[in-house]
């Protein structure tokens, strides 16, 4: 197996990855990560140090989260269910600053999304339940977490659900225009 496909998108450094997988009437086998396969100029020199799992029910919207000073890249795989995944470039010195990109991930589409440091991330659940697996390059530090309001009209994310279930913390994040300059990540 070595049919990994990596597709660059509108936002520099963010990639959709189609990993090696095999599927038949019994089910599937997915090679979720193998360092030799993921050695690609877009995501080279990555060193994952922590794995996280998340489960959310239909209608839940989580995000938009990012790290400020401690560079944390992440790679997300939907293990079960389907989500609409969104990234927003918050790197203050990036030519795509403030731009967003959304993609469906999960059942029926064996794809991952890779995000470098400086990208705000969020998702909404389209299936009854969704289980997500994150690989991250820096251990979680709550003192370094930033957030962008999920429905910031200046960013204009086109979420595919009405009336999402949003947590208290996520609903109180600021608009992009109200985030202080020194609370925005810098592009590496």
CA separation for the pair 102, 118 (Å, rounded): 16
**Helix (H, G, I), strand (E, B), or coil: what is residue 170?**
helix
Tokens of 146: 């930033």
106: left (phi over 0), alpha (psi -120 to 50) or beta: left
**Contacts with 117 (C-beta within 8 Å, 6 or more apart), sequence order:** 67, 71, 72, 73, 91, 137, 185, 188
CA 89 to chain centre: 11
Quick check: 70 and 144 in contact, CB under 8 A? yes
Q: Which residues, other chains included, contact 93 with Cβ-Cβ below 8 Å and sequence gap of 6+?
A: 186, 187
Residues labelled as active-site residues: 65, 134
Among candidate residues 25, 24, 30, the one with its CA nearest the CA of residue 3: 30
């Amino acid at each position: 197996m070595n049919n990994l496909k990596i597709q660059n998108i509108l936002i520099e450094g963010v990639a959709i990855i189609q990993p090696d997988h095999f599927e038949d009437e019994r089910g599937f086998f997915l090679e979720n990560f193998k360092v030799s396969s993921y050695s690609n100029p877009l995501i080279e020199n990555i060193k994952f140090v922590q794995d996280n799992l998340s489960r959310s029910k239909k209608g839940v919207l989580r995000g938009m989260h990012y790290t400020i000073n401690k560079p944390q890249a992440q790679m997300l795989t939907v293990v079960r269910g389907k989500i609409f995944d969104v990234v927003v470039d918050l790197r203050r010195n990036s030519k795509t600053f403030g731009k967003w990109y959304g993609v469906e991930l999960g059942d029926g589409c064996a794809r991952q999304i890779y995000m470098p440091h400086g990208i705000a991330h969020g998702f909404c659940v389209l299936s009854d339940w969704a289980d997500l697996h994150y690989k991250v390059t820096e251990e979680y530090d709550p003192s370094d977490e930033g957030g962008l309001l999920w429905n910031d009209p200046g960013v204009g994310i086109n979420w595919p659900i009405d009336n999402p279930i949003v947590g208290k913390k996520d609903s109180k994040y600021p608009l992009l225009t109200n985030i202080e300059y020194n609370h925005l990540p810098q592009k590496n």
